[in-house]
Structure 1
Amino acid sequence: MLCGLLLTASCSQDREANSATLPNHDQVALDTATIPAPAPDTQAVASPDTAAALATAPETTAPDTGYTYPGPKPLPGAILPHKRILAYYGNPLSKRMGILGEYPVDEMLSKLDQEIENWRKADPVTPIQPALHAIVVTAQGKPSAGGKYRLRMTDKMIEDVLAMAAKRDAIVFLDVQVGQSTLQEELPRLEQFLKLPQVHLGIDAEFSMKNGGVPGRRIGTFDAADINYATKFLSDVAKQHNLPPKLLIVHRFTQGMITNTENITLRPDVQVVMHMDGWGPPALKKDTFRRYIKNEPVQFTGFKIFYKNDTKNNSRLMTPEEVLALKPTPMYIQYQ
């Protein structure tokens, strides 16, 4: 995702799209352009049925940190909640899609080092796991090959991100914006990378156009059934290759982006993070977290900070201390 709406009406000209006019094949480098912003979602809170289901979900408490969260006890090797993940997000082929591609590799990694140090000072108890979160299927403003409104990155691009991550012993998230495609079409191609122990998955509901339409002109959606497909896919990969638990990051900043959360199946070998992906001043970000993450946390929670969009209109970045004060405390932090 390139910029998330909070409770504002539009981010119009501020919204950066994923690519310019597309060539007639999927696996190419991308540039940037602008696509219109979606309309805001107006629903604010979880339904009573959803809230009741979450209230009765089993919980697990980590013995080392005391952190309590919904779902089964994870298998050995799980990262959460024993460490907090701090990720840099973007695409190395674009300077406008996030910090990951904005600077030369060594400079970007140095900035990541400094951000990690800021978080260590704010919370000396919880170890930090560095991460790079790369968009490897990008939603498009035009139909592209097959009419799917999505662009697949090359294997070479993914391999380059893996090489960057290796310089910091960082884990890697492969982020998918399906457009008019589906997770069923996109995830199998990524299995060759997801079978690596350090590689995990992100799915962006904003650009999942289930009922047709052009990505970016309205906000898309994933249902619990989509998330269950993703967790089952990751679970199968983990079992087949004898891997520690996989992580699934689910982007969200409106009520309608994720439906039927009470039907999401939690698995011991997959850890689900509901990730607050909206931008704006601190008060709006906190309110969005409360409405769409705290009310339906599912399992673990995440929080995104936008270096540029969060500082528009004389606003400021939230500090690590402010993010740590949120409840449930985010265990996945992403910078764009």
Structure 2
Amino acid sequence: MKKQALVFLILPLLFYVSSCNRGKAADALNETEKTETVKPDSIEKKAVLTIDTIDYNKRMVALSNNDTTGRWPVKAPYPLPGALLPYNRIIAYYGNLYSTRMGILGELPRKEMLAKLQDEVAKWQAADSTVKTIPALHYIAVTAQGAPGKNNMHRMRMPFKQIDTILSWAKPINALVFLDIQVGHSTVKAEVAELEQYLALPNVHLGIDPEFSMKNGERPGSKIGNFTAADINDAIDILANIVRKNKLTPKVLVVHRFTQGMVKNYKEIKTVPEVQIVMDMDGFGSKTLKKSTYMSYIYREPVQFTGFKLFYKNDNKKDWKMYSPEELVKFTPKPIYIQYQ
């Protein structure tokens, strides 16, 4: 197996896409009210909701599995009230409705897929009863393309009616929805801005994929792309503005990663109360390889929260076996976002 690249799959469907090679608002727990100091020219006290910081800190230490290196938990601003993390563990099904090969979301009929997702949620809840486990549908809303397309951007935006379909599927099981972006030759800023009407919904969050960000004009899939901290900060700024403008609870931003070069200048990624960042360990392979990747690029380069991707097929090839929830909750730090493909 080549270094950490973990194998490419080329999808021959309605359009070219390299297979992702990576593999409600939270309970407002322990929210308290505080009162601001009254200004001399004011006759009213303004009530401000905040989280219970003592409870939050305890949860973050528990999530770090008592890491002793000082990396975890990461020092960051406290989130706005209603934050999903660390109060919930998100279990997501990933894919695209045009393809049966891009992930379990799209591979199985709706009823079968939702039942299987709920079964995984139950398994994770049993493996770690200290954190509430919730479902999510993680839909690839912008796919990288081998062909340039009419705008020469090497990306295809999915029709909004498909996003509407995913939202309708999520509603009966009270699932979150993530919209995932493969920018091709476009930019994070341009593609996220197109989805603002959906990201303004309380249960819709964002995923961005550096693998297909081709900054030097390469064809997506011909090499592994990258995001700089500035790219990721563009997504954070847009999400934070949406949260403030619409008075929402924090958004979750998932950033996929399975090599060192996929994320540049990680120390410059900003953390803000309106956005919760998950660095998701992508990539399929043996347990040994996947743990090594998690330690090298997720654990050693801390941003805020961590995720882990599991492949029903590609993690179970040869003598490989997919990680179980019981095994993953022993990792340091514990992944709080789990994605199945």
> Please, what TM-score do these two structures have when normalized by structure 2?
0.83
The answer to whether residue 207 in structure 2 is matched with residue 202 in structure 1 is yes
The answer to whether residue 178 in structure 2 is matched with residue 178 in structure 1 is no
Q: Provide the C-alpha distance between the structure 1 equivalents of 2:156 and 2:334, rounded to a whole number of angstroms.
A: 34
Is the contact made by 2:137 and 2:178 (CA closer than 8 Å) also made in structure 1? yes
The answer to whether residue 281 in structure 2 is matched with residue 241 in structure 1 is no
Partner of 2:155: 150
How is 1:302-317 mapped onto 2 (pairs within 5 angstroms)?
302-317=307-322
User: 1:72 Cα deviation (Å)?
Assistant: 1.0
Q: Provide the C-alpha distance between the structure 1 equivalents of 2:114 and 2:196, rounded to a whole number of angstroms.
A: 26
The answer to whether residue 100 in structure 2 is matched with residue 107 in structure 1 is no
Partner of 2:79: 74
Partner of 1:16: 10
Post-superposition Cα deviations, 1:122-158, rounded to whole Å, max 9, x if no partner, equal 1122101210000000001111121111010000000
User: Equivalent residue of 2:231, what SS?
Assistant: helix
Deviates more, 1:147-156 or 1:308-317: 308-317
CA spacing shift, 1:163–1:79, aligned 2, 3 Å: same
Q: Provide the C-alpha distance between the structure 2 equivalents of 1:151 and 1:272, rounded to a whole number of angstroms.
A: 25
Q: Provide the C-alpha distance between the structure 2 equivalents of 1:193 and 1:37, rounded to a whole number of angstroms.
A: 23
Is the contact made by 1:10 and 1:37 (CA closer than 8 Å) also made in structure 2? no
The answer to whether residue 229 in structure 2 is matched with residue 224 in structure 1 is yes
Partner of 1:273: 278
Counterpart of 1:67, as a letter, is: M
Is the contact made by 2:4 and 2:259 (CA closer than 8 Å) also made in structure 1? no
CA spacing shift, 1:195–1:33, aligned 2, 3 Å: closer
Post-superposition Cα deviations, 1:240-284, rounded to whole Å, max 9, x if no partner, equal 000000010000000000000111110001000000001101111
Counterpart of 1:327, as a letter, is: T
User: 1:66 Cα deviation (Å)?
Assistant: 2.5
User: Equivalent residue of 1:167, what SS?
Assistant: helix
Is the contact made by 1:65 and 1:81 (CA closer than 8 Å) also made in structure 2? no
Partner of 1:133: 138
User: In structure 2, which of residues 290, 315, 331 is the aligned counterpart of residue 326 of structure 1?
Assistant: 331
Number of residue pairs the alignment of both structures matches: 298
User: Equivalent residue of 1:81, what SS?
Assistant: coil
CA spacing shift, 1:226–1:8, aligned 2, 3 Å: closer
CA spacing shift, 1:251–1:111, aligned 2, 3 Å: same
Task: Kindly report structure 1 stretches of 4+ aligned residues shifted beyond 3 Å.
Answer: 5-10, 32-38, 60-65
CA spacing shift, 1:169–1:64, aligned 2, 3 Å: farther
CA spacing shift, 1:264–1:34, aligned 2, 3 Å: closer
Q: Provide the C-alpha distance between the structure 2 equivalents of 1:61 and 1:206, rounded to a whole number of angstroms.
A: 38
User: 1:191 Cα deviation (Å)?
Assistant: 0.3
User: Equivalent residue of 1:310, what SS?
Assistant: coil
Is the contact made by 2:5 and 2:258 (CA closer than 8 Å) also made in structure 1? no
Q: Provide the C-alpha distance between the structure 2 equivalents of 1:213 and 1:165, rounded to a whole number of angstroms.
A: 36
User: 1:314 Cα deviation (Å)?
Assistant: 2.6
Is the contact made by 2:16 and 2:147 (CA closer than 8 Å) also made in structure 1? no
Gaps of 5+ in 2: 22-52, 62-72
Post-superposition Cα deviations, 1:11-40, rounded to whole Å, max 9, x if no partner, equal 25xx133x64xxxxxxxxxx36575999xx
User: Equivalent residue of 1:314, what SS?
Assistant: coil
Gaps of 5+ in 1: 21-30, 39-59
Q: Provide the C-alpha distance between the structure 2 equivalents of 1:151 and 1:287, rounded to a whole number of angstroms.
A: 33
User: In structure 2, which of residues 150, 168, 172 is the aligned counterpart of residue 167 of structure 1?
Assistant: 172
**Larger Rg computed on CA atoms:** 2
Q: Provide the C-alpha distance between the structure 1 equivalents of 2:124 and 2:319, rounded to a whole number of angstroms.
A: 24
User: Equivalent residue of 2:195, what SS?
Assistant: helix
Is the contact made by 1:6 and 1:254 (CA closer than 8 Å) also made in structure 2? no
Counterpart of 2:141, as a letter, is: V
Post-superposition Cα deviations, 1:284-333, rounded to whole Å, max 9, x if no partner, equal 10000000000112000000000011111231111111111111110000
